[in-house]
Amino acid sequence: MTVYNIALIGFGGVNRALAELIATRNPQWQRDLGFSLNIVAVSDLYLGSVISPNGLDAKTLIEANFTKGGFGQLSGGSAEADNETIIKTAPADIIVEATFTNPKDGEPAVSHCRWALQTGKHVVTTNKGPVAIAAQELKDLAKVNGLHFEYEGSVMSGTPVIRMAEKTLGGAELKGFEGILNGTSNFILGRMEGGLDFASAVKEAQELGYAEADPTADVEGFDVRLKVVILANELLGAKLRPEDVTCNGISKLSLADIEEATQAKSRWKLIGSAVRNADGRVSGNVSPKQLPLEHPLAGVNGATNAVSLNTELLGSVTITGPGAGRIETAYALLSDIVAIHNAQANDGKKDAA
């Protein structure tokens, strides 16, 4: 039975949710997936860091009420976070990177991924920063070292848009895409349809945990811009940078705009899109759009995400699913580990042949 030793970089909602799944699902994964996961290290800015070559009990990690620097109480632990040491020296097969997203230069997550790949460890991440800004470098580094850099959860959480498009739409000739890629802004627009003004809708989103204290990245489209870059580069072979994508958010939409759309039997949505132009270049855009009610994205409500892939042979193929959530995003990390496991199994079969 295969056991993958993993190190968790960041122990916020997503990696904590992965630990919850490990605590309860490992026997099922052994049976159904052919592997189990063993946490050998964790590093977190608030809690500190800990290494245990034999493994840390996932249940203890999630149930212990650690205060600031709490990992220092554990054997092999320190009250200080030391991501670099954990990544480079922990006896891990896979580094699970789930720290905050830096939209400017992707740091420190880019360095986290780079250190892992340089020291012989696979990487799975939900972090948009390193994927939008340094994906090609990191994929090349992984390839040179016979490793995997996987990032399904960087777009649409656990909904497998990247892998699904790559694995099931080969030959369909993808021409572009458009999508609702931020659940917070979609929730806010829905509440404005219900009569709330923008500020009140944002406040409600914050109270429900959909929006951060500073909602700028969501409502101004910056989060969607990173996802457009990731999808355009991955699925259309583009080489876009975030600054290449035109970006406008929803903060300037008024209740009058919402009401006008309702009267016209349409609905405002924040749409992230990219298209391959006649000259072969790919252009990306993020902006609010007024969609007719019959449009496949018009009926996507709440925190749900969706993307319509425009293909030459099939027309529009729409993928809908959760775009946020702790467990949903943790599932994306699991799906990346499944992909690594299956690839290694296939490599083993080739070697045996």
Same structural domain, 150 and 174: no
Same structural domain, 149 and 165: no
Residue 308, domain extent: 161-323
What pLDDT sits at residue 346?
79
Same structural domain, 109 and 185: no
CB 308 within 8 Å of CB 176: no
Query: Which CA distances in Å does 330 have to 5, 20, 89, 283, 324?
Result: 16, 9, 24, 31, 10
Same structural domain, 168 and 108: no
Same structural domain, 152 and 166: no
Q: Which one of the listed residues 227, 269, 289, 349 is annotated catalytic? A: 227
Same structural domain, 338 and 253: no
H or E element that contains 96: strand 94-97
What pLDDT sits at residue 353?
57
Same structural domain, 314 and 338: no
What pLDDT sits at residue 35?
97
Nearest to 119 by CA among 151, 84, 152, 150: 84
- Pairing of β 2-9 and β 94-97: parallel
Rounded distance, CA 319 to CA 165, Å?
Answer: 9
Q: Indicate whether this model's pTM tops 0.85.
A: yes
Same structural domain, 332 and 319: no
H or E element that contains 284: strand 282-292
Residue with tokens 């995997």: 148
Same structural domain, 8 and 151: yes
What pLDDT sits at residue 349?
64
Q: Please tell me the number of Cα atoms within 13 Å of 117 on its side-chain side.
A: 25
Q: What is the pLDDT along the chain (353 residues), one digit of tens a residue?
A: 899 999 999 999 999 999 999 999 999 999 999 999 999 999 999 999 999 999 999 999 999 999 999 999 999 999 999 999 999 999 999 999 999 999 999 999 999 999 999 999 999 999 999 999 999 999 999 999 999 999 999 999 989 999 999 999 999 999 999 999 999 999 999 999 999 999 999 999 999 888 889 999 999 999 999 999 999 999 999 999 999 999 999 999 999 999 999 999 999 999 999 999 999 999 999 999 999 999 999 999 988 999 999 999 999 999 999 888 899 999 999 999 999 999 988 776 666 55
Domain count along the chain: 2
What pLDDT sits at residue 50?
98
Amino acid found at 205: A
Q: Helix (H, G, I), strand (E, B), or coil: what is residue 55? A: coil
Same structural domain, 185 and 314: yes
Same structural domain, 223 and 281: yes
What pLDDT sits at residue 210?
86
Nearest to 45 by CA among 109, 121, 129: 109
> In this structure, how many other beta carbons lie within 10 angstroms of the beta carbon of residue 213?
5
Give the CATH number of the domain where residue 190 resides: 3.30.360.10
- Rounding to the nearest 10 degrees, give the CA dihedral for residues 109, 110, 116, 122: 90
Same structural domain, 255 and 342: no
Give the CATH number of the domain where residue 112 resides: 3.40.50.720
- Pairing of β 266-276 and β 174-180: antiparallel
Residue with tokens 């122990």: 11
Is 143 annotated as catalytic?
no
